[in-house]
Structure 1
């Protein structure tokens, strides 16, 4: 008997490591939508971090899978543990998120059931030297065991193609919950008082997110906008080093349970990343009606409304250029208000999580034997 991809008998396994930040939010948004649609959803991930508990609260079957964030000597044991988990869960489709889960998942499954791999930014961009070469070699080789490689932006897909990763690609832009992230009363965390503009940077404190570049730019911002304040929201491995760079006008807020008050309090949200697939923080900030300034990395142009690049996009790793763009926006409240309003409407129409979940559902239907929608057929590119 032919069964729908949303038949209650269909079981989907989401495999994730890391278990926080944007990866966790994407997995949780998909889990919520898929449970609502009637799928049986299992989430396999390390038991620490935000993902396991939140997925369990949604009603997903959560299985602990102990795995380090980066490949290492324990990879063989991680793959074997995952193999036993697969035998117990018996999913009809595996959706592996990020480099580590993608590595272990494809080694364990080896194409025996439909497998989606979603890099959430390519692993070889995060490292250098021999490690980058090994990561790229693996991605080229491991692509044979992914029925689809799901990129969150056309730019991320293009990066994979240029790198020689021959795969069947599909592009599903990131989405966020536009009901949850919405304009509201600022609450003003960290603000020193009326007239003191607040710049907010939300993200893991690590090299990828580029907070060090923003801190090097900050003295010039202060020279042009005296009294401006900067808040770094998040934690991570570079926290101590960043604190040593930061002047007194910078606040380290740490990880917060609800980031919305920070977005709503911000005069400007900045994400100076060195690489991304498509960052969630700018989408969340725009959904809250705030103007954003981002670096021109994968997914950034695609996440902005048409015409925003002139004011809201700077090259990565350039503190002087970043400082000039931050100061110019802080000194132009009318422009910030216009950018915030247009950004909110853009995210509502283009980056709602429900649209992303529907696009992923179309992929699932295709891989489970049903005819895909024509609109999604046009998105997919096959490189062989």
Structure 2
């Protein structure tokens, strides 16, 4: 438990279930602390290893921390913006409110009302920024390059997760559901693998509740195609960086995405990406002279299959894109860069 008197930034998390927002907080806060930002979390659903404050500590927000004009309240949901507005405007507590938006759709009237009352707004991508009707700063998410890194030996990386080291693997990671495009990945592999005996496919992720029948249908589709031994459903794993390191190609087939870290995670492990044009994917992947992957239209099965085939059938291109992706993430998408950019906004407001 952190001492509120030493805390300059509060990162609330008012949702118990794990989500992309919660994952962002979990990954970002330790890096922010390492960079000297005096930040603590507030709310349920977070690891006890993170520095935290209690709700009763909020009574101290009438007095700013030593050497500062105010504290920062960094909200990422409507439910976290509203109490901050009450604390600042009704109770006159010494806080400034930062809001990070990852939404790529028109905001509701209620959301617009809240966002207009923020002291600073961060957009996680250029597409997100286009839906905001207030001044904002685009700060793309970063990746933990210490956690996600290439293997020393690719064959050993495959063996470590139980894959055949004599084969090349293309993977699709994330929740198994239609929104995530898992069916598009499976159908593209059903089309591609029969003519490419050196390649196999991996689906890593979990289906929940109403999506269980969807997963069963996909497995039946694979079995009917005679590819049950080459399109593998390996379930959910906590050691997901190890699975990335075992891949030779990654496909992000989402029909919709708020931001989407999987292409960065793949590129950071030296794996080229074929991704749909959703979320921030087109801002993460380079298709020019320093190609790291291919961006295809969302919900376009043929384009996805063609993009994957372009790499599967051209191993020099695959290797070049792998090296480019590793260099791009190290240079432009390390999570420390994201934390520093956010820290600059904090500093501006606290001065």
Tell me if the contact between 1:209 and 1:274 (Cα under 8 Å) persists in the aligned partners: yes
Matches within 5 A, 1:77-88: 87=58
The 1:277–1:149 alpha-carbon spacing in structure 2 relative to 1, beyond 3 Å, is: farther
State the alpha-carbon separation in 2 of the partners of residues 30 and 298 from structure 1.
20
How far does residue 88 in structure 1 lie from its aligned partner after superposition?
Answer: 5.1
Tell me if the contact between 2:100 and 2:121 (Cα under 8 Å) persists in the aligned partners: yes
Tell me the equivalent position of 1:61: 52
1:317 and 2:299 correspond = yes
Tell me if the contact between 1:221 and 1:324 (Cα under 8 Å) persists in the aligned partners: no
Tell me the equivalent position of 1:109: 84
The CA RMSD over aligned residues, in Å, is 2.7
Tell me the equivalent position of 1:150: 122
Residue segments in structure 1 that go unaligned for 5+ positions in a row: 1-6, 64-83, 125-132, 370-384
The 1:46–1:240 alpha-carbon spacing in structure 2 relative to 1, beyond 3 Å, is: farther
The 1:119–1:11 alpha-carbon spacing in structure 2 relative to 1, beyond 3 Å, is: closer
Bigger Rg over Cα: 2
State the alpha-carbon separation in 2 of the partners of residues 201 and 291 from structure 1.
12
Tell me the equivalent position of 1:70: none
State the alpha-carbon separation in 2 of the partners of residues 149 and 25 from structure 1.
20
State the alpha-carbon separation in 1 of the partners of residues 242 and 7 from structure 2.
41
1:171 and 2:109 correspond = no
How far does residue 43 in structure 1 lie from its aligned partner after superposition?
Answer: 1.8
Tell me the equivalent position of 2:320: 338
1:220 and 2:191 correspond = yes
Matches within 5 A, 1:333-372: 333-369=315-351
Residue segments in structure 2 that go unaligned for 5+ positions in a row: 62-69, 89-94, 223-227
Q: Tell me, what secondary structure is at the counterpart of 1:156?
A: helix
What do the CA deviations read for 1:205-242 (whole angstroms, capped 9, x no partner)? 33442212212322212243246322122224334412
What do the CA deviations read for 1:10-37 (whole angstroms, capped 9, x no partner)? 2423335475464344213321133234
State the alpha-carbon separation in 1 of the partners of residues 324 and 164 from structure 2.
28
Tell me if the contact between 1:121 and 1:275 (Cα under 8 Å) persists in the aligned partners: no
State the alpha-carbon separation in 2 of the partners of residues 290 and 310 from structure 1.
8
Tell me if the contact between 2:145 and 2:335 (Cα under 8 Å) persists in the aligned partners: yes
Q: Tell me, what secondary structure is at the counterpart of 2:116?
A: helix
1:180 and 2:139 correspond = no
The 1:287–1:89 alpha-carbon spacing in structure 2 relative to 1, beyond 3 Å, is: farther
1:191 and 2:154 correspond = no
What do the CA deviations read for 1:46-82 (whole angstroms, capped 9, x no partner)? 33xxxx12xx324x1165xxxxxxxxxxxxxxxxxxx
How many correspondences in the alignment?
316
The 1:89–1:121 alpha-carbon spacing in structure 2 relative to 1, beyond 3 Å, is: farther
2:274 aligned residue (281, 293, 304)? 293
